[in-house]
Structure 1
Amino acid sequence: MKILESSEQKAAQRGVMLCLSLSMVLASLRTSIANIALPTLALAFDVPFHWVQWVVIAYLVSITLFVVIAGRLGDVFGRRRMLVLGLVVFSLASGLCGLASSLWMLVAARALQGIGAAFLMTLTIALVRETVGTERVGQAMGLLGTMSAVGTALGPSLGGVLIGAVGWPAIFLVLVPVGLLAAGLALRFLPAVAPLEKTPRLNVSALGKSGVLPGLAANLLVANVMMATLVVGPFYLAVALGLQEAVVGLVMSVGPVLSICTGVPLGRLVDRWGTRRVLTLGLGTVAAGALSLSVLPATFGVVGYIAAIAILTPGYQMFQSANNVMVMADVSANQRGAVSGLLGLSRNIGLISGASVMGAVFSAGVGSVAIEDAASGAIVDGLQITFLLGGLSILVALWFTRRLASDHA
């Protein structure tokens, strides 16, 4: 009987992780798979490129606005119920995207898809604490980080194949059955927790004392640096080094591939070594990677760039797993969804600042608005200034998280 129960428990655990993994893949795939279609969409709808960018902007704005709301609704009405709702909304919106007959119908459907994705991003992290044993929380967080990287890495290649073989609607329609499958798995395997009769409001001062706010600040600063690699990297590789687009794409895929390979093993370190040690090691590695980006490419070119990314990415994986575990560790069960939403919000703000603020720093460092026409030496100067600032900001993040760790000591 005990062997049977153990077998059933393992099967249920696999179902839970498959559900959460699919939700995380969908949440990350939706951005990268759409970006590859922007030139095709501009031609299909016969509109300028700056109009078609709203296909991405509407999605990101919806996520940013709804991540905290989604987490709070999960606390009040039940996280399984709200995750299923988010998956259904996401699937419905994906179908509407594929059927859109005008650009603005597509933009509206993408905004709705972003609302569904906010539930996916927020509630998957919140559900880890109540569905996975304490001794394996770090491993589970690492797996979710890996799934996020899988979605990011898979998007451009899958999108390119589907657009070439079937047409742009396929990149949205392919998400519908995956979303519905994840919803079915959620209903089958996730525990049904009764909604709370009364859920207390978030106490901001209490979050500061528990160390949540320093963790959120660190999350923002790290996301800011990681986004800078996606904004600055292509200009350095294509303009300063003169690499072909295919080669640029190959080099830019090094980070996501490393994330896929290292996510789960590094997540296990949290369970074995504890959050404080892994958090410090992760941030130290991220700082080393950012500072390497300001030095190695100028000396060794593309090899130096890849080496710096190879330092930066594992550090990010360690930080992400440890920070998520630590921030959520002492949060009461009735506020996990809201705090998970704040984690998503801080990350999104960091991504936005990485694209805007760090992009502006890079442009100032280059000394030219028309970066594509700048000399290679000027591009390298901009790269060095950007990631020197990035490395210093990670040292600030290290201070925040050491404060968080001391609060939990």
Structure 2
Amino acid sequence: MTTPRGNPWAVLATLSLGFFMTLLDLTIVNIAVPDVMRSLHTGLDQVMWTVSGYALVLAALLVTSSRLGDLKGRRALFAAGVAVFTLASAACGLATGPATLIAARAVQGLGAALLTPQTMALIVTTFPAGRRGAALGVWGSVAGVATLSGPTLGGFLVSTAGWRWVFFINVPIGLLVLAMTFLLIPDVRPARAGRLDLPGVLLSTAALTCLTFALMEGDRYSWNAWIWVLGATGPLLGAAFLRHQARRQNADPLVPFALFRDRGFAVMTALIGAIGAALVAAVLPLSLYLQQDLGLSAMRAGLALAPSPLVSLLVSPFAGRLSDRVGGRRVLLAGLLSYTLGLAATALLTTPTAHAATFVLPLMLMGLGTGCVIAPLSSEAMRNVPPPLAGAASGINNTVRQLGSVLGTAAATALMAVGSPLTGIHLALTFPIAALTLAALTVLLTRNGTPPAVNARKAS
């Protein structure tokens, strides 16, 4: 009789559900901000820290937690992250004041940072190269749907059950994921115990915190002198971190430089940041346009954007399988072109008299593009990564993706403030169009590797 423990698809379902929670909480809280302000009798600046604090802790600790998974066991780190995230979600829902809510959200970010890099690393070590693209396609479709469905689900929960259920909904899901983790995911320990590089942890955390804070809060503080100081301090600390890592390459470094000797990993990691910035920078102005210019409610705006994540959800698994057969570069290039064309059409249609239905076809084209981007981007980056370094590679990818998202948000926010509201929307949409065009040109000039399925057939 077969057992579900260790079944690759059961493992994937568990990892995807946990990953879904963390990404959903990046966007679901935005819709609850007005209700939180009224309920806790506080101002916008304090409540917005419930959004910023989560993203800040998540970005700052991804590299550290990924390396911990390599050294101490990925299932253990994933389970710890789910437990911390679930308990913090309950604390968020029970918060009686803004300080309590902000603190609980920061702990939520810690839980998300612990579990997020383990998901990709466990997928890489669970699935053989010939089936990895399909698995990462499912994982990527979950990521896309979670990020884009936040406003819709958040609007439904706030309007029917109250803002606290934006957090309480994570509790039963988290308990389910925790049970599935111990029932379905094998506990594979590293071959040798290693030691965590504590000076590296301090340097990387400080560098990422300074840089992320400056990008996230620059617009709110009018890019004053302190923001520029933090923005400059981040790269300086980052340079000190890299110098420290160079001296530790033979002693369990947080960032193994050997990963970047693989051209595919280096190029795709850079593209992950650029595409992450572009995707976030596209959604933000479109969401505001639908609500401010077309007068839609938050829930209706979320539903108007739904064609994109729905198509992405349907396409991603097939795009992953196609990447395994024909090579990820071709699928990735097609996805970038599809998303760019859809976004350009959307930008042309954003007029004061447009109707939400006008954007269905362009949004479907964008969803097709997203579905064809996520799986090959991840599978091509991780194709040649040795299993012992999968956690470190995943941490680097997720950190770059998170920094890209923060940069995209900062760029879109700054551009939307230029000129009239509609002019700002159009200007903000030029940033992701330019970033995606540059990414497509980079992919076009990158050599296509041998598809994993072909390698598997040759080996057999």
Deviation at 1:159, TM superposition (A): 3.8
In the alignment, structure 2 segments of 5+ residues that lack a partner are: 195-250, 452-460
Give the corresponding residue for 1:397: 439
1:324-344 CA deviation, whole Å, 9 max, x = no partner?
A: 001111112222111111111
The amino acid of 2:334's aligned partner reads: L
Helix, strand or coil: the match of 1:37?
helix
The alignment-based identity, stated in percent, is 29
- Say whether 1:285 aligns with 2:285: no
The yes-or-no answer on 1:193 pairing with 2:188 is: yes
2:314 to 253, 261, 278: 261
Q: Which amino acid aligns with 1:353?
A: L
**Mapped partners of 1:223, 1:261: distance in 2:** 20
* Farther off after superposition, 322-331 or 128-137: 128-137
Task: State how 1:120-139 maps to structure 2 within 5 Å.
Answer: 120-139=115-134
Shift of 1:239: 4.0
Structure 1 stretch displaced more, 76-85 or 207-216:
207-216
Q: Tell me the distance in 2 between the aligned counterparts of 1:206 and 1:152.
A: 28
Alpha-carbon displacement from aligned partner over 1:18-45 (angstroms, at most 9, x marks no partner): 2112112211222333222211111111
Change in Cα spacing, 1:229 to 1:15, as seen in structure 2 (3 Å) is: same
The farther-off stretch of 259-268 and 126-135 is: 259-268
How far the C-alpha of 1:49 sits from its partner, in A, is 1.8
How many Å separate the matches in 2 of 1:292 and 1:156? Answer: 23
SS of match in other structure, 2:7:
helix
- For normalisation by structure 1, the TM-score amounts to 0.86
Structure 1, residues 264-314: CA drift from partner, whole Å, max 9, x if none? 222222223221221222222223233333334459934553332222222
Provide the residue aligned with 2:211 in structure 1: none
Distance in 2, Cα, partners of 1:306 & 1:189: 39
Q: Which amino acid aligns with 1:249?
A: G
1:187-266 equivalent positions in 2, closer than 5 A: 187-195=182-190, 196-198=192-194, 200-201=252-253, 202-204=255-257, 206-243=259-296, 245-266=298-319
**What is the Cα deviation at residue 244 of structure 1?**
5.4
SS in 2 for 1:301: coil
Q: Which moved more, 1:322-331 or 1:268-277?
A: 268-277
- Per the alignment, in what secondary structure is the counterpart of residue 28 of structure 1? helix
Q: Is contact 1:27–1:148 with CA below 8 Å preserved after alignment?
A: no
Backbone CA RMSD of aligned residues: 2.7
Partner of 2:348: 295
> Is the 8 Å Cα contact of residues 5 and 183 (structure 2) preserved in structure 1?
no
Q: Does 2:190 align with 1:148? A: no
Distance 1:249 1:193, change over 3 A: closer
Amino acid corresponding to residue 211 of structure 1 in structure 2: G
Q: State the AA in 2 paired with 1:334.
A: P
Of stretches 58-67 and 195-204 in structure 1, the one that deviates more from structure 2 is: 195-204
CA distance in 1, matches of 2:138, 2:408: 25
Structure 2 CA distance for partners of 1:106 and 1:241, relative to 1, 3 Å: closer
> What whole-Å deviation, never above 9, does each CA across 1:95-136 have from its counterpart, x for those lacking one?
221222221111111101111112232111111111123332
In the other structure, the counterpart of 1:375 is none
2:69 aligns with one of 71, 74, 84: 74
Counterpart amino acid of residue 115 in structure 2: L
After TM superposition, the structure 1 = structure 2 runs for residues 2-401 of structure 1, keeping only pairs within 5 Å, are 4=1, 7-8=2-3, 12-152=7-147, 154-195=149-190, 196-198=192-194, 200-201=252-253, 202-204=255-257, 206-243=259-296, 245-297=298-350, 301-302=354-355, 303-364=357-418, 367-368=419-420, 371=421, 379=422, 381-401=423-443
The residue identity in structure 2 corresponding to 1:256 is P
Please say which of residues 386-395 and 337-346 is displaced more in the overlay: 386-395
Q: Identify unmatched segments of 5+ residues in structure 1.
A: 372-378
Higher fraction of helix? 1
SS of the equivalent of 2:385 reads: coil
Write the distance in 2 (CA, Å) between the matches of 1:396 and 1:348.
19
**d(CA) in 1 for partners of 2:430 and 2:159?**
40
> In 2, Cα distance between the equivalents of 1:58 and 1:42?
16
Question: In terms of mean alpha carbon deviation, does 267-276 or 19-28 score higher?
Answer: 267-276
Structure 2 CA distance for aligned equivalents of residues 52 and 256 of structure 1 = 28
Q: Distance in 2 between matches of 1:334 and 1:9?
A: 24
Q: For residue 176 of structure 1, report the CA deviation from its aligned partner.
A: 1.9
Q: Is the contact made by 1:290 and 1:388 (CA closer than 8 Å) also made in structure 2? A: no
Alpha-carbon shift at residue 404 of structure 1 (Å): 5.1
Cα distance per residue 1:359-399 (max 9 Å; x no partner): 322333xx14xx3xxxxxxx1x4444433443232222124
Equivalent-residue separation in structure 2 for 1:32 and 1:39 (angstroms): 14
2:332 & 2:434 partners in 1: Cα distance? 17
2:35/2:163 contact within 8 Å kept: yes
Q: Which amino acid aligns with 2:321?
A: R
User: Offset at 1:11?
Assistant: 8.1
Structure 1 residues 175 and 328 mapped into 2: Cα distance closer, same or farther (>3 Å)? same
Query: Relative to structure 1, is the Cα distance of residues 242 and 109 closer, same or farther in structure 2, using a 3 angstrom cutoff?
Result: closer
Change (3 A) 1:146 1:203: closer
For the residue of structure 1 that corresponds to 2:42, the secondary structure is: coil
Q: TM-score, normalised by structure 2?
A: 0.77
